[in-house]
A and B are shown apart, each in its own frame.
Chain A
Amino acid sequence: MTGATTDTALAPESRPLEPAAPSRRFVANALDVVVRSIVPVLLALGAGAILLLALGRDPITFYSNVWKGGIQLTAWQDSAIRAAPLLLIAVGLVVVFRANIWNLGYNGQFLLGAALISGLGPHLVASEPRWFALLVLFLVAGGAGAAWTLVPALLKARYETNEIITTLMMSFIGVGVANILIKGPFQDPAVNIPQTRVLPLNKMLPSIPGTRIHIGVLVALAAALLVHFVLTRTSFGLRLQILGANPRAARHIGVKVPRLIVMSFLVSGLLVGMAAAADILGTWGYVRANWNPAYGDTVIPFVFLARLNALALIPFVVFYAVLSTGGDLATQQANLSTDFLLVLVALILLFMTVIEYLGRRRALGASYLTPGLQQAFRSSRLRRKTSA
């Protein structure tokens, strides 16, 4: 209210300074984006602190432990490594979410890719040159992830079957199949624990000189940039966005909707599978049965916070990587289950939707005229007033 009155008061003076208006709008927009993305995180951390107090833990120690375990000394490198699979999955989700398609089967796609490459990996790196083997393994994992989206994609494209249900079911099946593979054909014969053979350290993804960070992190960054380019600068990206905004309009302007649905599913699955490759080939080197890091579940809020923008995802994913790497230490020190991090993530999601709602209310109350028209309207009204 006060903003509106000062605007009208300033209108005569600001008219000669026409170029100032867009930059002010830019600042306001940027501020809006920052408020909408950062405030939910802060609120969630605050609510988390209250929860910690309720559980009889010291929130200050908890969060300083997160800092200690996620940033200090060389811990930031662990966080960067953790960010690689998270970023790849998040980017994969951006592709489908933009088209308003819900691929919630990331856990199955991820684990299936992980099981396949940790089963095939040891043989492949032993017989083939390192770079070739790693490239093939990346493609195998990506292919497995993509293939696992095929049934939901076709069902959605052909019969409009709800993809939330089908991807979730395929996810459970994928996790099960991965476990069967790990305990069966890929079992390491040398050990009693159900796990695959371990990749030799010198055959895994090489690290960036001077650090422990493997190049999977660079692959993830490159994928984020590439996806951002494709989604914002190509016709494929535009068609996806139209499909997401209004499927009927998309059909009307000649977009082949079924094909686009299948394509976006495949790309999404491919990226999720590649996340598995980056994680296994870069960090773990093997998979144990019943291992399920559920990266996708925790990264979803940040996909929304970044407003489905692959570039804006990078800082958010880095933030969560720090939170989860440091959170391992912090929850251990506080004698809490690591599932406390899930609560924090859920809080971020809830606060995000609430802030979004408040923002929308304010936007609804604001004028729908473009700034130029607002100016014209104001000046004509002013002139009428002065003439009268």
Chain B
Amino acid sequence: MSELLTRTFLTALISGGLIAGVSLMFTALGETISERAGVLNIGLEGMMLVGAYIGFVGAYYGHSFWVGFAAGIAGGAFASLFMVVLCVRLGLDQIVVGIAITLAGEGITSVLQDTQFGSTYPRLGAPPTVAIPLLSDIPVLGKSVFDQPLIVYLGLAGVGAVSWIFRRTNAGLNLRAAGEKPEALDAAGVSVVATRSYAVLCTGALAGLGGAYLSIVGAGTFTPFMTQGQGFMAIVIAMLARGKPLWVVMGSFLFGISLSVATALQLAGINISTDVVNLLPFIAIMVALVAFARRSYLPPALALPYIRGAR
């Protein structure tokens, strides 16, 4: 039992949890935005993979992590463009298009990886980190929590910004109205389609950034299907967080930690089947859903296309 609390275990648990948690955080934050605007984005997994692949390629050939993150954002936004045109503009079924985007993202990134790199998986170096003075000197915790790449701090600031936009700005009010009662928004003279389009684009960009973080910082390389269901976990986190960005952060890190338990245990030399441990996050989600089923909240207009004048 004392082995559980060794330095290596805790460091691996927390740093692994942060890596998974940060990518989940970006993606779930994106899903929160589009869910609030009334678009259920099932294609998140595909957008993450596209972002992960393009972000990795950008970082690899651009020799810069920032080029990689920018490329990931662009890739995710490009993938979400399909959703904007087909679901928001044309009002097609969001679930069908979402499944298509996931399938296409999985297929195309796997094919491209295969044709471009074959079975070699080139690696990137470790990203530069920014240590917060004083806090990073705390033993064990400090080094793994308060010594992160700059993008993590920016991301956390971004969560605060989104939370503020939701509650304090007209744009946030429009966004929520698009999900709660699009007719009202339309009557107020604001275009529902435009509002939702921007929301979905933001979602794609954030999912792409989440994927890029996973491949550039987390793994240092791209492997096909590397998101392993994180896109779907992000949907659940967004759903359980009931549209509150700060809850999204907490949920993401909770699930991030449960994702990293497996590797941490292995490093600590404890023999537990990784299959069992890998199930933990999903079981945790199911337990949460069973326990809080009545309290999860989704906007009433979610997944319904808005057609002006239709009843």
Taken residue by residue from 336 to 353, chain A's Cβ proximity to chain B (1 for < 8 Å, 0 otherwise) reads as: 110111111111011011
A336 touches B103 (CB 8 A): no
B293 touches A159 (CB 8 A): yes
Q: How far is the CB of A165 from chain B (nearest CB, A)?
A: 5
Q: Is A176 an interface residue (CB 8 A)?
A: yes
Q: How far is the CB of A160 from chain B (nearest CB, A)?
A: 9
A340 touches B111 (CB 8 A): yes
Q: Is A45 an interface residue (CB 8 A)?
A: no
Contact partners of A55 in chain B: CB under 8 A: 111, 115
Taken residue by residue from 353 to 383, chain A's Cβ proximity to chain B (1 for < 8 Å, 0 otherwise) reads as: 1101100000000000000000000000000
B110 touches A162 (CB 8 A): no
In the complex, the chain A residue whose C-beta lies closest to that of B284 is A169
Partner among A164, A168, A346, A352 whose Cβ is within 8 Å of the Cβ of B103? A346
How would you classify the secondary structure of chain B's contact residues: helix, strand, loop or mixed?
helix
Partner among A179, A343, A352 whose Cβ is within 8 Å of the Cβ of B108? A343
Contact partners of B151 in chain A: CB under 8 A: none
**Bound CA span A343–B46, Å:** 11
B293 touches A340 (CB 8 A): no
Given contacts A165-B239, A346-B101, contact A357 B90 (CB under 8 A): yes
Contact partners of A164 in chain B: CB under 8 A: 40, 42, 95
Partner among B86, B101, B114, B286 whose Cβ is within 8 Å of the Cβ of A173? B286
B232 touches A346 (CB 8 A): no
Q: Is A151 an interface residue (CB 8 A)?
A: yes
Contact partners of B86 in chain A: CB under 8 A: 350, 353-354, 357
- A to B contact number (C-beta, < 8 Å): 126
Q: Is A63 an interface residue (CB 8 A)?
A: no
Given contacts A177-B279, A343-B104, A349-B99, contact A170 B286 (CB under 8 A): yes
A155 touches B289 (CB 8 A): yes
Q: Is A14 an interface residue (CB 8 A)?
A: no
Given contacts A176-B279, A350-B86, contact A162 B239 (CB under 8 A): yes
Identify the stretch in B65-73, B171-179, B210-218, B270-278 within 8 Å (CB) of chain A at 4 or more residues: B270-278
Q: Is B285 an interface residue (CB 8 A)?
A: yes
Partner among A162, A298, A342 whose Cβ is within 8 Å of the Cβ of B298? A162
Given contacts A165-B236, A173-B279, contact A297 B103 (CB under 8 A): yes
Contact partners of A344 in chain B: CB under 8 A: 107
Contact partners of A339 in chain B: CB under 8 A: 106-107, 110-111, 114, 224
Contact partners of A109 in chain B: CB under 8 A: none
In the complex, the chain A residue whose C-beta lies closest to that of B101 is A346
Partner among A166, A180, A336, A337 whose Cβ is within 8 Å of the Cβ of B286? A166
**Bound CA span A373–B273, Å:** 70
Q: Is A304 an interface residue (CB 8 A)?
A: yes
Contact partners of A349 in chain B: CB under 8 A: 96-97, 99-100, 103
A180 touches B115 (CB 8 A): no
Contact partners of A336 in chain B: CB under 8 A: 111, 114-115
Q: Most chain-A Cβ atoms within 10 A of its Cβ — which of B103, B110, B113, B283?
A: B103
In the complex, the chain A residue whose C-beta lies closest to that of B298 is A162
B104 touches A342 (CB 8 A): yes
**Bound CA span A366–B276, Å:** 58
A165 touches B235 (CB 8 A): yes
Q: Is A102 an interface residue (CB 8 A)?
A: yes
B293 touches A353 (CB 8 A): no
Q: How far is the CB of A287 from chain B (nearest CB, A)?
A: 14
Q: Is A300 an interface residue (CB 8 A)?
A: yes
A155 touches B290 (CB 8 A): yes
In the complex, the chain B residue whose C-beta lies closest to that of A156 is B293
Count of A residues near B, CB < 8 Å?
46
**Bound CA span A166–B286, Å:** 7
Taken residue by residue from 157 to 194, chain A's Cβ proximity to chain B (1 for < 8 Å, 0 otherwise) reads as: 01101101110111011001101100110000000000
Partner among A158, A159, A170, A350 whose Cβ is within 8 Å of the Cβ of B82? A350
Q: How far is the CB of B232 from chain A (nearest CB, A)?
A: 5
Of the four ranges (under 10, 10 to 19, 20 to 34, 35 or more), the interface on chain B belongs to 35 or more
Q: How far is the CB of B254 from chain A (nearest CB, A)?
A: 15
Question: Would you list which residues of chain A between 309 and 348 have a CB under 8 Å from chain B?
Answer: 336-337, 339-347
Given contacts A102-B95, A155-B289, A165-B235, contact A176 B275 (CB under 8 A): yes
Contact partners of A298 in chain B: CB under 8 A: 103
**Bound CA span A190–B273, Å:** 21
Partner among B92, B104, B278 whose Cβ is within 8 Å of the Cβ of A353? B92
A342 touches B103 (CB 8 A): yes
Given contacts A342-B107, A343-B104, contact A356 B92 (CB under 8 A): yes
**Bound CA span A210–B282, Å:** 47
Taken residue by residue from 232 to 248, chain B's Cβ proximity to chain A (1 for < 8 Å, 0 otherwise) reads as: 10011001000000000
Contact partners of B115 in chain A: CB under 8 A: 55, 336-337
Q: Is B308 an interface residue (CB 8 A)?
A: no
**Bound CA span A34–B143, Å:** 63
Contact partners of B235 in chain A: CB under 8 A: 165
B282 touches A346 (CB 8 A): no
A347 touches B290 (CB 8 A): no
B96 touches A169 (CB 8 A): no
Partner among A168, A177, A300 whose Cβ is within 8 Å of the Cβ of B232? A168
List 18 additional contacts besides A55-B111, A55-B115, A346-B101; criterion CB under 8 Å: A164-B95, A169-B236, A169-B289, A172-B279, A176-B279, A180-B273, A337-B113, A339-B106, A339-B114, A339-B224, A342-B106, A342-B107, A343-B103, A344-B107, A346-B103, A347-B104, A350-B82, A356-B92
**Residues of B participating in the A interface, judged by any CB pair closer than 8 Å:** 40, 42, 82, 86, 90-93, 95-97, 99-101, 103-104, 106-108, 110-111, 113-115, 224, 229, 232, 235-236, 239, 273, 275-276, 278-279, 282-283, 285-286, 289-290, 293-294, 296, 298
**Residues of A participating in the B interface, judged by any CB pair closer than 8 Å:** 55, 102, 104, 151, 155, 158-159, 161-162, 164-166, 168-170, 172-173, 176-177, 179-180, 183-184, 297-298, 300-301, 304, 336-337, 339-347, 349-350, 352-354, 356-357
**17 A-B Cβ contacts within 8 A?**
A158-B293, A161-B289, A161-B296, A162-B298, A164-B42, A165-B239, A172-B282, A300-B99, A337-B110, A337-B114, A339-B106, A339-B110, A341-B107, A342-B104, A346-B107, A353-B100, A357-B86
